[in-house]
Amino acid sequence: MRLLWSPRSPFVRKVMILVYELGLQDRIDCVRAVAVPRGAPNPVITAENPLGKIPVLLRDGLPPLYDSRVIAEALIALVPDGDGDGERLLPASGEARLTQLRWQALGDGLTDNLLLWRIERTGASGGDPGTMASYRAKVIATLAALEREADALAEAPFGLGAIAILCALGQLDFRYRTSGWRSAHPRLAAWAARQATRPSLVATAVQDDIGSDEGPVMDLVFGGG
């Protein structure tokens, strides 16, 4: 299988963490693809995913898969039931499954808001103030919610929800470097720090291979040292 991939993308990283957690590295070839959120979409991506977004999983003789949630289901299904890895990452049923899916929604939603806020901010006009205020408020509310969930995250087996949340926090570190989010969310920060040494996270650390300008400093600063 081939994955339309970028080392800068938090959603691609989510898929790659799963690939490592499931031991599927040898079955996936990563193909660098540049997603462009402004102007003409990259035709290499739209040929496979009309939404113009990555990740996209290309399978021999089968339709391409997108988005990261669908790819996650497909990868987990590749691992035999008896092995336990898939079930560990996303339980097959019940409240434990809903918890992982809800955490995935929180993590993916935070990543979406971080990406969209930055796209708005880097637009020609510098961004619509009302739209940017809305993204900012939703990012702050989501981090507060995650801080309240930090103990539950720590108690649950490492799963799809944790992966999505850690990718969102990685995006915060990548593009909102001066936010100081850890000081205002100590339990979330402690949980994230404990996960940071997992081989799947180390192997997939976000990298800016294009070396583009950092862009504007975003209006997200938490006080408290």
Ligand X SMILES: N[C@@H](CCC(=O)N[C@@H](CS)C(=O)NCC(=O)O)C(=O)O
Q: Name the site residues for ligand X (rule: CB under 6 A).
A: 9-11, 35, 37, 52-55, 67-69, 108, 115
- Compare residues 9 and 200 and give the one whose CB is closer to ligand X: 9
Whether the Cβ atoms of residue 187 and residue 147 lie closer than 8 Å to each other:
yes
Nearer to ligand X, 48 or 67 (CB): 67
Question: CA–CA separation, 204 vs 12, rounded Å?
Answer: 9
Strands 29-32 and 2-5: parallel
| Least gap, CB of 69 to ligand X (angstroms) | 6
| Three-class DSSP labels, 189-216 | HHHHHHHCCCHHHHHCCCCCCCCCCCCC
Query: Shortest Cβ distance from residue 187 to ligand X (Å)?
Result: 26
φ, ψ for residue 56, nearest 5 deg: -130, 130
Distance separating alpha carbons of residues 7 and 205, to the nearest angstrom: 8
Distance CA 104, CA 86 (A): 15
Angle at 110 between CA 105 and CA 115, to 5 degrees: 125
Residue number, 104 or 179, with CB nearest to ligand X: 104
**Smallest separation (angstroms) from ligand X to the CB of 80:** 25
For residue 65, the cross-strand partners are 57
Q: Which is nearer to ligand X, 9 or 179 (CB)?
A: 9
Question: What single-letter amino acid sits at 112?
Answer: D
Q: Which is nearer to ligand X, 81 or 208 (CB)?
A: 208
The least CB distance from residue 152 to ligand X, in Å, is 23
Q: Classify residue 224 as left (phi > 0), alpha (psi -120 to 50) or beta.
A: left
Q: Which CB atom, from 11 or from 135, has the smaller least distance to ligand X?
A: 11
